[in-house]
Amino acid sequence: QSVLTQPPSVSAAPGQKVTISCSGSSSNIGNNYVSWYQQLPGTAPKLLIYDNNERPSEIPDRFSGSKSGTSATLGITGLQTGDEADYYCGTWETSLSVWVFGGGTKLTVL
């Protein structure tokens, strides 16, 4: 059971928009930055979003992040079949001084 709660799966058609939620508490998301990772099939995770809403330079602006209170959201617009992957949120858990990940969300582009 992950400390951060993500939906197991989401799906949308090519070209559409999808959002993935990540729910936590005041001791993790509520008081720390959230980052998001994309894991394409058979590959290592890759950083998509850091500091809640910042993108590394190589990440297209179709990917966005936001945070409100104890929840964070990853948004992907203009969906492509190449976006099919598992997506993970993560943050620092202050009460335990550990890093925590969400359980992951599998994105299917129909």
**Matching residue, tokens 């070209």:** 15
The whole-angstrom separation of Cα 23 and Cα 70 is 6
* 14 lies in the site for other proteins, by CB under 8 A: no
Question: Of 70, 87, 102, which Cα lies nearest the Cα of 10?
Answer: 87
Question: Which of 33, 59, 84, 108 is in the footprint of other proteins by CB under 8 A?
Answer: 33
* 7 lies in the site for other proteins, by CB under 8 A: no
Please report how many Cα atoms fall inside a 13 Å half-sphere around the Cα of residue 8, on the Cβ side.
Answer: 1
* 46 lies in the site for other proteins, by CB under 8 A: yes
CB of residue 33 to other proteins, shortest distance in Å:
6
**35 vs 73, which CB is nearer to other proteins?**
35
- The sign of the torsion formed by the CA atoms of 64, 51, 92, 72 equals negative
**12 vs 59, which CB is nearer to other proteins?**
59
Q: Would you tell me how many other CB atoms lie within 10 Å of the CB of residue 79?
A: 21
Given the rule CB under 8 A, which residues bind other proteins?
Answer: 2, 31-33, 35, 37, 39, 44-47, 50-51, 56, 88, 90, 92, 94, 96-104
